[in-house]
Amino acid sequence: MFRKPFKLMLYILFSIAIVTGCALSPQRSAMVTMPTDEIWDLVVIGDSSIDRIGEAFASQIENDVGVMVVVEDYVADGLRIGDVISVLQHKGAFRDELRDLPTDLADADVVVMFIGNPIGSIISENPWNMDGCGHVSALPKNCNPAALEKYITDLKWIWGEIFRLRNGQQTILRTMDMYNPIVNIWNEKDIFLECTRCLENHSNAIRLAAEAYHIPFISRYDVYNGVNHDEDSRERGYIRSVGFHVSNLGVQVLVEMLAQLGYEPVPPP
């Protein structure tokens, strides 16, 4: 995988390789209707829970499809949906590290997105609040699915904006939900059932937004925590022994799941 400043040079080298018959990486049997005689741009948008996914998935694409991949990584600690909306709407202040996101999305052949923090899409009269679960200090205050209606609407708006920026060009779009790194702690604090219900509602909101555009959805929650969401992801090796971030195994499994979805673009609405 390569960074954008090298894109033109790599495109020339890649074209020469085709003309001279140079061998490329072995391809998977997955269907690919995207053009394969060019360099693909991969944009990754999310918080630190998907850190390192960009480079790993880029390598997987290169091995599977035989193209070179330019990675544009917009993984930022605590990324909020309001941060992304602000930069895409060009309104108000926005996080400086997102400055080039609209331009890079316009060039993106592949977009992987997880925006789990609903701040910026909170309904004032029905505010989503599961802070007690995150701080492991109390029961959640409000995890009613209706509290995520604006979050779903705004996620759909972001997907729609990506389609608009792509202007009808073929684009591979993928999304996912959040895993639970503290199942055992929730059990110890006797808040597991209520907080699990919160995280399941949150997962369903992301799924609903993706389904509106037929975007493939991966449930890290189901994989890392089991389909009943009651297995500790750290004990299973998906989370690092210290902290809440994904381990090497967790990254590997997620990339394999992305690859298993194939490389079919999502048709524009």
How many distinct structural domains can be found in the chain? 1
C-alpha atoms less than 13 angstroms from C-alpha of 113 in its C-beta half-sphere: 23
Residue 263 forms beta bridges with which residues? 32
pLDDT of 22 > 50? The answer is no
The answer as to whether 32 is a domain residue is no
Backbone angles phi, psi at 163, to 5 degrees: -60, -40
Q: Could you tell me the residue range of the domain that residue 82 belongs to?
A: 4-24+37-260
**For 214-242, what is each residue's pLDDT tens digit?**
999 999 999 999 999 999 999 999 999 87
More confident residue, 99 or 10: 99
Cα–Cα distance measured from residue 160 to residue 68, given in angstroms and rounded to the nearest whole number: 27
The helix/strand/coil state of 222 is: helix
pLDDT of 212 > 90? The answer is yes
Model confidence at 92, pLDDT cuts 50, 70, 90, reads confident
Query: Among 32-41, 79-88, 101-110, 162-171, whose mean pLDDT is lowest?
Result: 32-41
Q: 16 and 45 in contact (C-beta within 8 Å)?
A: no
C-alpha atoms less than 13 angstroms from C-alpha of 168 in its C-beta half-sphere: 0
Nearest in space to 199 (alpha carbons), one of 232, 218, 221: 221
| Per-residue confidence (pLDDT) for residue 36, from 0 to 100 | 63
The answer as to whether 166 is a domain residue is yes
More confident residue, 22 or 247: 247
Model confidence at 24, pLDDT cuts 50, 70, 90, reads very low
The answer as to whether 30 is a domain residue is no
Model confidence at 27, pLDDT cuts 50, 70, 90, reads very low
User: Amino acid identity of 135?
Assistant: H
The answer as to whether 164 is a domain residue is yes
Mean pLDDT, to the nearest integer, of 69-95?
A: 93
The answer as to whether 10 is a domain residue is yes
Helix (H) or strand (E) holding 255: helix 248-260
What CATH number does residue 255 fall under? 3.40.50.1110
| Per-residue confidence (pLDDT) for residue 37, from 0 to 100 | 59
The answer as to whether 266 is a domain residue is no
Model confidence at 14, pLDDT cuts 50, 70, 90, reads very low
pLDDT of 8 > 70? The answer is no
Note the pTM of the prediction, 2 decimals. Answer: 0.88
Cα–Cα distance measured from residue 7 to residue 99, given in angstroms and rounded to the nearest whole number: 20
Percent share of the chain, pLDDT over 90: 81
The answer as to whether 269 is a domain residue is no
- Edge-first strand order for the sheet with 172-176 is 69-75, 40-46, 110-114, 172-176, 217-218
The answer as to whether 31 is a domain residue is no
pLDDT of 35 > 70? The answer is no
